[in-house]
Amino acid sequence: MPATIGLVLDCADAPKLAEFWAPALNFVNVWSGGTYVLLMDPSNVEPRLILQQVDEPKSAKNRLHFDLHPPDVDAEVARLEALGAQRGEEITEHATRWVVMTDPEGNEFCVCSAPTE
Amino acid sequence: MPATIGLVLDCADAPKLAEFWAPALNFVNVWSGGTYVLLMDPSNVEPRLILQQVDEPKSAKNRLHFDLHPPDVDAEVARLEALGAQRGEEITEHATRWVVMTDPEGNEFCVCSAPTE
């Protein structure tokens, strides 16, 4: 049986960042303990996301980031901005439109028009 | 309808790193174009993983990383080492055992005994 996949995001304030990422991903906050907050899809679809509070600050562009593929890019970008994300540059490549955004701690992610096939 | 979730990993050599991550995640290499390689679960379960070749080198611990939850941690760690991963420290916390590993480009990920509930 293959391993199931989870994700861990280092952050400065896990409960506060959970207030962004739970609604951003349409996940629910299911568990908090120590320096961790666990967010999951309500249907328990992978991947789970653990927010892990760490001492070191973010120091470079994240090497791994989320691409979110909503039915409506502009509506999703507006929804995420209202939740506290910042909108950055926009890129069109390989017939896909990417809007680069950052979460409230500056973590990069993209909102994209369609999965690249 | 919520957005579907994809992931993008910056790397120095996308085709070469795909040779690690495709078998590591039990994904298949479904598409390459320009500086991108797309890996997907054969059943098209989320998340997809895009390997994106970039100019800048890795400069800090990744802020976002994978936690893999296999049925057998030791067997999975050995399998990933054989694929080219390096084994790092081991942590037990909240009744979960994590083995910290790095991929062939030094990207951190963990192999864990069970999802934290």
Is B59 in CB contact (< 8 Å) with chain A?
A: yes
Instruction: State whether ipTM is beyond 0.85.
Output: yes
Q: What is the pLDDT of residue A109?
A: 98
Residue type (1 letter), A5:
I
Q: What is the mean pLDDT of residues A20-41?
A: 94
Does any domain span residue B60? Answer: no
Which domain covers residue B90, as residue numbers?
A: 65-117
B32-78 per-position pLDDT tens digit: 988 999 999 998 777 899 999 999 999 999 999 999 999 999 999 99
pLDDT for res B90: 96
Asked whether residue B72 is domain-assigned, the answer is: yes
- The predicted pLDDT at position B116 comes to 47
pLDDT score of A39:
96
User: What CATH number should be reported for the domain holding residue A90?
Assistant: 3.10.180.10
Chain B residues with CB under 8 Å of A62 CB are 62-64
Residue from B63, B67, B83 to probe the interface with A (highest A Cβ count within 10 Å): B63
- What are A31's two structure tokens? 């568990």
The answer on A50 and A12 residing in a single domain is yes
- Supply the mean pLDDT for chain B: 93
For residues B117 and B83, state if they share a domain.
yes
User: Does this model's pTM top 0.90?
Assistant: yes
When scoring A5, A43, A54, A108 by the number of chain B Cβ atoms within 10 A, the one with the most, hence best to mutate, is: A5
Per-residue model confidence as pLDDT tens digits over B22-33: 999 999 999 998
| Nearest CB partner across the interface for A9, out of B48, B58, B64 | B64
Q: Report how far residue B9's alpha carbon sits from residue B31's, in angstroms, rounded to the nearest whole number.
A: 15
Q: Are residues B41 and B82 in the same domain?
A: no
Per cent of chain B over pLDDT 70 is 97
Q: Residues A36, A69: one domain?
A: no
Is the separation of the CB atoms in A62 and B63 below 8 Å?
yes
Question: What is the edge-to-edge ordering of all strands in the sheet holding A48-53?
Answer: A28-33, A36-40, A48-53, A4-11, B64-69, B108-112, B96-102, B86-93
Whether A75 and chain B come into contact, CB under 8 Å, resolves to no
Please check whether residue A60 touches B, CB under 8 A.
Answer: yes
Q: Note whether A72 and A22 are same-domain residues.
A: no
Residues A73 and A109 placed together within one structural domain of the fold: yes
Contacts 24+ apart (CB under 8 A), B95-98: B97/B73, B98/B67
Q: CA-to-CA distance for A98 and B29, rounded, in angstroms?
A: 22
Is residue A49 one of the residues assigned to a domain?
yes
Look at chain B and report how many structural domains it folds into.
Answer: 2
Q: Domain for residue A60, yes or no? A: no
Do A42 and A91 reside in the same domain of the chain? no
∠ Cα A52 A34 B107 (to 5°):
25
The pLDDT value given to residue A115: 53
Q: What are the Cα distances from residue A67, in Å, to A9, A109, A113, B10, B23?
A: 14, 6, 10, 13, 22
* Closest CB from A33, A45, A50 relative to B46: A45
> Which domain CATH number covers A19?
3.30.720.120
